[in-house]
């Protein structure tokens, strides 16, 4: 994981908005818009320029930041050299669902804007304005439950014992993934059925991998496994 960074967080870490979104100089804003429109063409206009949480300071008990535009996040993904100018470190939640038949993995579509074709630990998604709480607070678990419902068709009642693991910061894009592990009593068949009936198409393939078979699955996935997955698995399963 060359260049990747792991930030330790406490189980009761708080997330707060402490400043407004900074304005961009006209030339930089124009470049952000150019990159955004290029990706919009690729995605047939399906992207929405909503607000997402971007972290400025990360400590184990408090993460402070601001709301930023999703188009700035996309621009920085496409042109990481813009980070010193944009200062975006967008926060996303990422799950580790552990059930009686193993751990849930999903494979992202080949045409995705970010981590296309990679296996990841669902649910996963940017922390957006729907997670905003009173007095500048940000509710990351609210976002996690929303992603669980949208991507896998599962309600919060289907899982239990949420536990925050750590934050993994990606080199280049500077995206921050907050790992959250949960337990479920659902069988692999029930999880697949829920995904097929109520999922939003975020994952073309879904696998429930027995814990004993994880090393073989990870070796088979190889470079198609996203970077934070092994870190989150080690934390969730007590192996690191």
**Per-residue pLDDT reduced to its tens digit, 31-89:** 999 999 999 998 899 899 999 999 999 999 999 999 999 999 999 999 999 999 999 99
Most trustworthy range by pLDDT among 108-122, 136-150, 226-240: 136-150
pLDDT at 240 over 60: no
pTM of the model: 0.95
Each residue of 99-135: pLDDT tens digit? 999 999 999 876 666 666 899 999 999 999 999 999 9
Give 46's contacts (C-beta < 8 A, 6+ positions apart).
Answer: none
The side-by-side arrangement of strands in the sheet containing 51-58 is 14-17, 62-69, 51-58
pLDDT digits (tens, 9 = 90+) for 13-29: 999 999 999 999 999 99
Provide φ and ψ at 160, rounded to 5°: -150, 170
How is the chain split into domains, by residue range?
5-236
Give 176-192 pLDDT, tens digit per residue. Answer: 999 999 999 999 999 99
Q: What pLDDT digit, counting tens, does each position of 194-217 carry? A: 999 999 888 988 999 999 999 999
Architecture of domain 5-236 in this structure: Alpha-Beta Complex (3.90)
Residue with the bigger pLDDT between 222 and 114: it is: 222
All residues at 6 or more sequence positions from 23 whose CB lies less than 8 Å from its CB, including other chains: none
Collapsed DSSP state (helix, strand, coil) of residue 187: coil
Residues near 153 by beta carbon (within 8 Å), at least 6 away in sequence: 194, 195, 197, 198, 199
């Amino acid at each position: 994981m060359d260049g990747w960074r792991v930030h330790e967080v406490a189980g009761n870490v708080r997330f707060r908005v402490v400043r407004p979104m900074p304005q961009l100089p006209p030339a930089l804003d124009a470049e952000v818009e150019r990159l955004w429109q290029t990706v919009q063409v690729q995605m047939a206009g399906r992207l929405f320029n909503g607000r997402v949480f971007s972290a400025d300071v990360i400590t184990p008990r408090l993460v402070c930041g601001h709301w930023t535009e999703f188009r700035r996040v996309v621009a920085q993904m496409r042109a990481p050299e813009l980070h010193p100018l944009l200062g975006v470190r967008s926060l996303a939640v990422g799950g580790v669902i552990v059930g009686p038949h193993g751990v849930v993995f999903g494979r992202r579509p080949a045409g995705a804007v970010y981590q296309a074709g990679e296996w990841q630990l669902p649910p996963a998604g940017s922390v957006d304005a729907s997670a905003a709480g009173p007095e500048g607070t940000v509710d990351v678990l609210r976002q996690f439950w929303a992603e669980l419902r949208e991507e896998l068709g599962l309600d919060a009642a289907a899982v239990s014992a949420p536990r925050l693991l750590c934050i993994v910061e990606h080199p280049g894009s500077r995206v921050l993934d907050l790992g959250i592990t949960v337990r479920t009593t659902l069988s692999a068949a029930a999880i697949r059925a829920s995904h097929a009936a109520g999922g939003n198409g975020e994952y073309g393939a879904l696998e429930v991998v027995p814990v004993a078979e994880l090393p073989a699955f990870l070796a088979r996935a190889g470079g198609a496994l996203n970077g934070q997955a092994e870190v989150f698995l080690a934390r969730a399963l007590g192996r690191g």
